[in-house]
Homo-oligomer: A and B are copies of this chain.
């Protein structure tokens, strides 16, 4: 029996928390664990606590739940702290985006070359980066020796920041690498039989190895692109084989994987018509105005669904939650598969956190894709920059795989190098809390037409801003 305390920070993200709880009750060696659900939103916290408790009970799990609105209480004595909190929430992101667009920055100033994902804020969300460090400091005091499992974005900036400035054990997770399996399926291969590796930085990973039946199957991707007659996305996030992915594949010689397809240069993103051309009609990808609206509506539906489920369970505690979920999600195809997986005793959610804990605690070794300091894994990238790479994890820790073959020089030089540069600039601006560095950052932004424009948007976002100098 496990005696662990796993704390989920920002547990009000109900789907994410339910995924973790379902993974947990499907992991026999972690029974006995205490899960501390923490969120500053009491209503959401109550809801997820109700649902998680019910789900665990119904599935005969031995999990003890605690809830708290206090960070310190959640961290205190934890063995694992899973951070999924997004400070300010979507309302903050949309407010920042709106100010950006008012000043001529389509999709907001956080949207940048190789960083187009609409909720991956590296420039304006200093609260978020500040929270990462605050959490690390708190863990140093209240949970020495515990692991921080970082799920909240920006994972790239966050992992680099925390690992540089705190001795806390910490790893960043994302699920973008599952795109490899989707690609395999789409081009007619059995995803289970693909021998693959990805490498890069979070939201900037590339298919470095793609072997099938002992042979390099990269030519099959090229053949798919050469031969296909047409292509249309099933939803805004369906971009793995988009024209943008194809174009990047041809230029870089390796396929962009997961959110990397979204995180391209302005070439595919100048405006909505351009996005549609490269990511397909009718949305133009997830990061177009209409694609993002689609995503926000999905989120609202899920939030409403969770509230509805909570009410039903609270009203009738003996009702079977699993049956309830399945009956409710029939009208929501977007979450139907997800819900089926959640309730299927044999399938894990795909989130890596619980299997990672199981690997560390019980030496149930497994393969993961982790965000950790490079330390030589990718040549030409500094040791203290967080990279996303495959690794074996066991009770001895994280053992990065040797990348064979390596990442193309083209990817490193034309994609990762400028992306890493922007990470460095963003972190310096944050660490010094210096809005004039954000102005300087924007002087390298193709949407900037004048110094006054960059200064204007930064002043509106950060207040008057120090050191914004101009000629007498």
Please list the residues of chain A having a beta carbon within 8 angstroms of any beta carbon in chain B: 113, 243, 246-247, 250-251, 265-267, 270, 274, 277-278, 413-414, 417-418, 421, 424-425, 428, 436, 440, 443-451, 467, 469-472
CB distance from A157 to the nearest CB of B (A): 15
Given that A265-B444, A449-B270 are known contacts, is A278 also in contact with B418, CB under 8 Å in the complex? Answer: no
Q: Are A247 and B414 in contact (CB under 8 A)?
A: no
CB distance from A222 to the nearest CB of B (A): 12
Contacts of A428 in B (CB 8 A): 413
- Known contacts A421-B418, A443-B265, A443-B266; is A247 also within 8 Å of B450 by CB? no
A interface secondary structure, majority: helix
Query: How far is A449 from B421 in the complex, measured between Cα atoms in Å?
Result: 23
CA distance A260 to B260 in the complex (A): 36
Interchain CB contact under 8 A, A440 and B251: yes
- Chosen A-B contacts, 16 in total, with CB atoms closer than 8 Å, are A113-B444, A247-B469, A247-B471, A251-B436, A265-B440, A265-B443, A265-B444, A266-B444, A267-B443, A274-B450, A277-B471, A414-B425, A418-B444, A421-B421, A444-B446, A446-B447
Chain B residues within an 8 Å CB radius of A440: 251, 265, 414
What is the CB-to-nearest-CB distance from A181 to chain B, in angstroms, rounded to a whole number?
25
Partner of A469, one of B251, B270, B467: B251
The residue in chain B whose Cβ has the minimal distance to the Cβ of A422 is B418
A204 to chain B, nearest CB (A): 15
B421 touches A243 (CB 8 A): no
User: Is the beta-carbon distance between A445 and B446 smaller than 8 angstroms?
Assistant: yes
CB distance from A306 to the nearest CB of B (A): 39
Q: When chains A and B are docked, how far (Å) is the Cα of A278 from the Cα of B265?
A: 30
Which chain B residues border A424 with CB–CB below 8 Å?
Answer: 413
Chain B residue at minimal CB-CB distance from A265: B443
Given the interface contacts A413-B428, A446-B446, does A469 sit within 8 Å of B250 by beta carbon? yes
User: Is B421's CB under 8 angstroms from A471's CB?
Assistant: no
**Complex: A413 Cα to B427 Cα, angstroms:** 12
Interchain nearest-CB distance for A277 vs B (Å): 6
Q: Which residues on B sit within 8 Å (CB–CB) of A274?
A: 450-451
A246 contacts across to B, CB distance below 8 A: 471
